[in-house]
């Protein structure tokens, strides 16, 4: 009986030890599983953090890319605008150049060599001397007439030609009634030298001074007209008024 009891006690102890070992192994297993889950949680958290960082980096990169693309587009548009403006200015300059060349060509055809312009008229100064009537005839053949002086500025311009030359003023039709070659009477302005016109003065040989010269030798610009015999030889000045087409 005692042996049987001891045997039962031993078996009970063995069962208890085995249960204790199972419990210990179960606890270790659960602990191991808990540690594994924790590591997985931590790994998942790390991965999530990395993904967040990557997402932020990607967002920033995309924003910068779009921003730079926007700046590049704006700069491209500005360059295109500048290019268009320069093209328009170039075309305008070319047009102005062509217009000037056309005007210059027309002027050369209208007024050949030897003529010069002042305000709205063209002037021709002869290189030879002739009497007044022959001088006027030369102007008419050139499509002009002897010059008519209309202003002090024009008088000073003619004086600057520095020639004793016939102008288009005469009293050959009616003595002491001075008229221009276009038939208009002399009123103002007038630029007679002192004591002129004198129709030859006291010397009867110099009578009939019916034509007017511009004397640039010693007289001032606004006091440079002198009546003279139309038969004397002088240079002459033709005038052609520029007409608007």
Beta-bridged to residue 235, according to DSSP, are: 165
Of 107, 141, 109, 136, the closest CA to residue 237 belongs to 136
- Give pTM, 2 decimals: 0.54
Q: How far apart are CA 24 and CA 183, in angstroms?
A: 145
Measured from the Cβ of residue 132, the count of other Cβ atoms closer than 10 Å reads 26
Q: How far apart are CA 103 and CA 13, in angstroms?
A: 133
pLDDT in tens, the chain (245 residues): 555 555 554 555 565 566 565 555 555 444 444 555 566 667 767 777 777 777 777 777 767 666 566 666 777 778 788 778 878 887 887 788 777 776 655 555 555 788 999 998 999 999 999 999 999 999 999 999 999 999 999 999 999 999 999 999 999 888 889 999 999 999 877 899 888 888 766 555 556 899 999 988 766 778 889 999 999 999 999 999 876 54
- At 37, list the tokens: 């889950």
3-state secondary structure 44-111: HHHHHHHHHHHHHHHHHHHHHHHHHHHHHHHHHHHHHHHHHHHHHHHHHHHHHHHHHHHHHHHHHHHC
> Could you give the 3-state DSSP secondary structure of residue 158?
helix
């Amino acid at each position: 009986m005692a042996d049987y009891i001891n045997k039962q006690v031993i078996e009970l102890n063995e069962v208890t030890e085995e249960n204790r070992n199972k419990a210990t192994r179960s606890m270790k297993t659960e602990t191991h599983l808990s540690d594994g889950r924790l590591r997985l949680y931590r790994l998942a958290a790390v991965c999530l953090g990395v993904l967040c960082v990557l997402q932020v980096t990607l967002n920033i990169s995309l924003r910068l890319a779009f921003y730079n693309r926007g700046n590049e587009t704006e700069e491209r548009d500005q360059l295109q605008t500048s290019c268009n403006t320069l093209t328009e200015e170039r075309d305008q300059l070319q047009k102005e150049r062509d217009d000037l060349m056309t005007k210059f060509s027309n002027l050369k055809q209208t007024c050949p060599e030897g003529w010069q312009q002042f305000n709205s008229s063209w002037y021709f100064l002869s290189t030879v001397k002739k009497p007044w009537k022959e001088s006027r005839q030369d102007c008419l053949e050139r499509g002009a007439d002897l010059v008519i002086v209309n202003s002090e500025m024009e008088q000073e311009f003619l004086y600057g030609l520095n020639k004793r030359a016939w102008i288009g003023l005469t009293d050959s039709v009616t003595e002491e009634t001075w008229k221009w070659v276009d038939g208009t009477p002399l009123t103002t302005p007038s630029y007679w030298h002192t004591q002129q016109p004198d129709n030859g003065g006291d010397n009867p040989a110099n009578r009939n001074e019916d034509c007017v010269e511009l004397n640039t030798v010693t007289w001032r610009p606004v006091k440079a007209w002198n009546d003279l015999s139309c038969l004397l030889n002088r240079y002459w000045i033709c005038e052609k008024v520029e007409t608007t087409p």
